[in-house]
Amino acid sequence: MHRLEMKIRAANEASRVALIPFLTAGFPSQATFWPTLLDLDRSGADIIEIGIPFSDPVADGPVVEAASRQALSEGIRLENILKELQSTRSVIQSELVLMGYYNPFLQYGLERLAKDAEEAGVAGIIVPDLPYDEASPMKSKLKAHDIALIPLVGPNTSVERMRLYANDAEGYCYVVSVMGVTGARTSLPPEVGATLARAKQVFNVPLALGFGLTNPAQLADLDADAKPNACVFGSALLQHLSNGGQAHDFIARWL
Amino acid sequence: MKKGYFGEFGGCFVPELLIPPLQEVEKAMDNILPFSKFQAELKDLLNNYAGRPTPVTFCPTLSKELGFNLWLKREDLLHTGAHKMNNALGQALLARYMGKKRLIAETGAGQHGVATAAAAARLGLECVIYMGAEDVERQASNVLRMELLGATVHTVDSGSRTLKDAINETLRVWITNQETTHYCFGTAAGPHPFPTLVKKFQAVISQEAKEQMLTQTGHLPDLVVACVGGGSNAIGAFANFLEDESVKLLGVEAAGTGEPGCFNSAPLNLGSPGVLHGSYSMLLQNLDGQIEPSHSISAGLDYPGVGPEHSYLQKTGRVKYSLVKDQNVVAAFMRLSKTEGILPALESSHALAWVFDHQSEIKPGSTVLVNLSGRGDKDMGIIESVLHGQGGVAHA
């Protein structure tokens, strides 16, 4: 079992949903990013997704895009993130996942990325603009270094396409809750239950629900066969931090 | 070759949520587009609504000055003023066949937005156009034209507030509205199947031009020249000549102001391969893979990427790609206007400028066909500021 899956299963065995906060690298500021990451880690995150900034984030709403632009303007680079992770990794308990668009990874070099990410202790990578049909070059390079390429599926993903992803999925599957981009929403759309139920039938790896999550009450209405194994929250956390909030206070809502 | 690829270039690098609508467009391209009823309806729209076929025009004065025969393919005479209409009508009709009620589209200079708005009005579809805030300011008259044609114009304030950000925003909106809405992509770039679909609709340019040149000159042109931004007019002008080895093909990119390191719109000449807006192609980017801002005096070429088939045609050597500076573009604009009585778009003036600047490399007596992709009426504000020395060349 991949270590990302083990993390999520362990939380589920303790009768709780695994928590996966998303934090854009260099956010809230270059100086406060690492302390915030450590705060998330100590206050109960199981996995932390670190957002790699990109100039043209087509799957993101305004909050993540603004964080990404701010990070770029402060000179945040993939190379530096990986280097700093190498020295910080040993004190972090959570598993780490990078989330970023394909071009920065491609320009870094897929082979070099796989090697450096492994040395930095990265367990998985999520690439929102890399669908199944284009993923094999990256996937094979990452696999050789025991890093999972996490698939994303959504409300309009058919069972047939889910099967393509499920075939050799590792770690977890990211289930996009809405037909839209990232961003906090007060309620989840009604079809999210059906999407999760469909994905549960197809995937053996745990399911992480993301896009639009702000608080645990949003999960209350889901049927037992449609509960996600993990929850990802990004925009809501970034907003909370922007407003001067502490990472541990945000996590505490979910514990 | 892998589906949706031109050699190593192309592909479909989009979020999974956009795969179903793109597959739907691909299916429509394969199953509806070749269908004779669709083709007949499109031909009727192109001929009787948009004004096809557009003529080829011989330039007697310039030909005498240059020492070779200069011909223009007159896409500037098409309804709404540029070749964009070929694609907008094609996709709008296809969208109606697909049962869509609504078109969304990005626009830079506004030409694709105006063409899409007109096509939507004609075919009874709703239309929303996304346009970068900077372009909304510098192309105000096109915003009004789109609104008069019944479209809603949505200002995009994110990123660099230009064409690339308008594309990002339209892709985002399409994720949410895919059931009812077709994304009428404006150029031969983007994710598969758009580079192929747009080429199919623009190929009418070279299909007509080839026949017209054979009829009027008795032979094929020796050289075909077109400007390249995203590359839709160029791919349309080249498509039916690709197999004719005697015909040299040349694409002209925008060099911007021209000093070393200046912002430009010339990814084929000055960029490197990478992924933007769904395809792997030549790009203006930094070493970290972040997209660089582009610049050109002509808003229609102001884009950091280029259609993947152009990257492929450059790599195979079938098409050569050169670049021209803003100031030479303005000179070419003036020269065609004065000598032949045609105001060319600043985009098309890039192709003309290359021909004028490379007179010595073109064999005397040979035949050169320039695709005059659009008319220059929309550029009066820019030309005016250049003439009055208000720095319009540098910051059009």
Instruction: Find the CATH number of the domain harbouring B102.
Output: 3.40.50.1100
Packing angle, helices A136-143 and A110-119, rounded to 10: 40
Chain B contact for A161 (CB, 8 A cutoff): yes
CB B280 within 8 A of CB B8: yes
Q: Confirm whether B396 is domain-assigned.
A: no
Mean pLDDT for chain B overall = 95
- pLDDT over 50 (residue B394): no
DSSP state of B294: -
Burial of A235 (0-12, 13-18, 19+ CB in 10 A): buried
Closest residue, chain A, to B177 (C-alpha):
A179
The pLDDT score that the predictor gives to residue B259 is: 86
- pLDDT over 60 (residue A91): yes
User: What are the angstrom distances between the C-alpha of B107 and each of A40, A84, B133, B235, B251?
Assistant: 42, 41, 11, 19, 22
Residues B287 and B190 in one domain: no
Report the C-alpha gap between B27 and B277 in whole angstroms.
21
What is the least distance, in Å, from the CA of A99 to any CA of chain B?
13
Contacts of A77 in chain B (CB under 8 A): 288
Contacts by residues B155-159 (CB-CB < 8 Å, ≥ 24 positions apart): B155/B131, B156/B130, B156/B131, B156/B132, B157/B133, B158/A62, B158/A65, B159/A55, B159/A56, B159/A65, B159/A69
Report the C-alpha gap between A94 and A85 in whole angstroms.
13
- pLDDT over 50 (residue B392): no
DSSP state of B110: S
- Domain hosting B28: range is 5-46+83-198
Q: Please give the positions of A annotated as active site.
A: 49, 60
Which range among A139-148, A220-229, B16-25, B74-83 shows the weakest confidence by mean pLDDT?
Answer: A220-229
Q: Mean pLDDT over residues B82-87, rounded?
A: 98
- pLDDT over 70 (residue A137): yes
Burial of B331 (0-12, 13-18, 19+ CB in 10 A): middle
Question: Is B223 strand, coil or helix?
Answer: strand
Q: Mean pLDDT over residues B310-325, rounded?
A: 98
DSSP assignment of B22-35, as one string?
HHHHHHHHHHTTTS
The pLDDT score that the predictor gives to residue B10 is: 98
DSSP assignment of B151-166, as one string?
-EEEEE-STTSSHHHH
Report the C-alpha gap between B83 and B80 in whole angstroms.
9
- pLDDT over 50 (residue A187): yes
Question: Is B358 strand, coil or helix?
Answer: coil
The pLDDT score that the predictor gives to residue B1 is: 67
Catalytic residue among B79, B83, B182, B192: B83
The pLDDT score that the predictor gives to residue B78 is: 98
Q: Confirm whether B134 is domain-assigned.
A: yes
Chain A contact for B192 (CB, 8 A cutoff): no
Residue B181: strand pairing partners: B102
Report the C-alpha gap between B116 and B135 in whole angstroms.
17
Q: Which of B20, B172, B288 sits opposite A58 (nearest CB)?
A: B172
As a dihedral over the C-alpha atoms of residue B10, residue B11, residue B12, residue B14, rounded to 10 degrees, the angle is: -70
pLDDT band at B182 (very low <50, low <70, confident <90, very high): very high
Chain A contact for B36 (CB, 8 A cutoff): no
Q: Which of B20, B158, B164 sits opposite A65 (nearest CB)?
A: B158
Contacts of B17 in chain A (CB under 8 A): 59, 154-157, 176, 179
Residues B137 and B211 in one domain: no
- pLDDT over 60 (residue A237): yes
Q: Classify B10 in phi/psi space as left (phi over 0), alpha (psi -120 to 50) or beta.
A: left
Q: Do A129 and B13 touch (CB under 8 A)?
A: yes
Contacts of A107 in chain B (CB under 8 A): 274, 285, 287-289
Give the amino acid at B267. P
Q: Which of B12, B17, B289 sits opposite A134 (nearest CB)?
A: B12
Residues B103 and B242 in one domain: no
Q: Confirm whether B183 is domain-assigned.
A: yes
Q: Confirm whether B13 is domain-assigned.
A: yes
The pLDDT score that the predictor gives to residue B342 is: 98
Which chain A residues in 27-86 lie under 8 Å from chain B, judged by CB atoms?
54-59, 61-62, 65, 69, 72, 77-79
> Which residue in the block uniquely carries the two structure tokens 């720095």?
B391
Residues B275 and B179 in one domain: no
> Which residue in the block uniquely carries the two structure tokens 């290359």?
B354
Taking the model in full, what pTM does it have?
0.96
- pLDDT over 60 (residue B291): yes
Q: Mean pLDDT over residues A63-69, rounded?
A: 95
Residue with the bigger pLDDT between A219 and B55: it is B55
Q: Do A129 and B164 touch (CB under 8 A)?
A: no
- Phi and psi at A54, nearest 5°, equal -140, 145
Q: Confirm whether B395 is domain-assigned.
A: no
- pLDDT over 90 (residue B11): yes
What is the least distance, in Å, from the CA of B94 to any CA of chain A?
22
Q: Confirm whether B394 is domain-assigned.
A: no
Q: What is the pLDDT of residues B98-123, one digit of tens each?
A: 999 999 999 998 999 999 999 999 99
pLDDT band at A1 (very low <50, low <70, confident <90, very high): very high
Q: Confirm whether B218 is domain-assigned.
A: yes
The pLDDT score that the predictor gives to residue B390 is: 55
Q: Which of B176, B283, B291 sits opposite A180 (nearest CB)?
A: B176
Q: Are strands B272-276 and B279-283 parallel, antiparallel or unpaired?
A: antiparallel
- pLDDT over 70 (residue A151): yes
What is the least distance, in Å, from the CA of A54 to any CA of chain B?
6
Closest residue, chain B, to A72 (C-alpha):
B290
- Picking from B311, B12, B283, the residue whose alpha carbon sits closest to that of residue A135 is B12
Residues B15 and B70 in one domain: no
What token pair was written down for A39? 């705060």
- pLDDT over 50 (residue A78): yes
Q: Do B12 and A69 touch (CB under 8 A)?
A: no
Contacts of A79 in chain B (CB under 8 A): 288
The pLDDT score that the predictor gives to residue B335 is: 98
- Among B172, B198, B224, the domain-final residue is B198
pLDDT band at A107 (very low <50, low <70, confident <90, very high): very high
Contacts of B287 in chain A (CB under 8 A): 107
Neighbours of B340 (CB within 10 A): 18
pLDDT band at B260 (very low <50, low <70, confident <90, very high): confident
Percent of chain A at pLDDT exceeding 70: 100
Percent of chain B at pLDDT exceeding 70: 98
DSSP assignment of A70-118, as one string?
HHHHTT--HHHHHHHHHHHGGG--SEEEEE--HHHHHHH-HHHHHHHHH
The pLDDT score that the predictor gives to residue B395 is: 40
The pLDDT score that the predictor gives to residue B74 is: 98
Contacts of B171 in chain A (CB under 8 A): 58
CB A129 within 8 A of CB A102: yes
Q: Do B15 and A59 touch (CB under 8 A)?
A: yes
Q: What is the pLDDT of residues B186-243, one digit of tens each?
A: 999 999 999 999 999 999 999 999 999 999 999 999 999 999 999 999 999 999 999 9
Alpha helices in A110-191 (DSSP H): 110-119, 136-143, 159-166
Q: Confirm whether B393 is domain-assigned.
A: no
How many structural domains is chain B composed of?
Answer: 2
The pLDDT score that the predictor gives to residue B396 is: 36
Q: Mean pLDDT over residues A47-65, rounded?
A: 96
Total beta-carbon pairs less than 8 A apart between chain A and chain B? 104
Domain locations in chain A as residue ranges: 3-252
Chain A contact for B175 (CB, 8 A cutoff): yes
- Among B143, B177, B198, the domain-final residue is B198
Q: Which helix (H) or strand (E) holds B141?
A: helix B140-148
Residues B59 and B134 in one domain: no
Residues B242 and B350 in one domain: yes
Q: Which of B17, B168, B274 sits opposite A103 (nearest CB)?
A: B274
Q: What is the pLDDT of residues B318-335, one digit of tens each?
A: 999 999 999 999 999 999
Topology of the domain comprising A3-252: TIM Barrel (3.20.20)
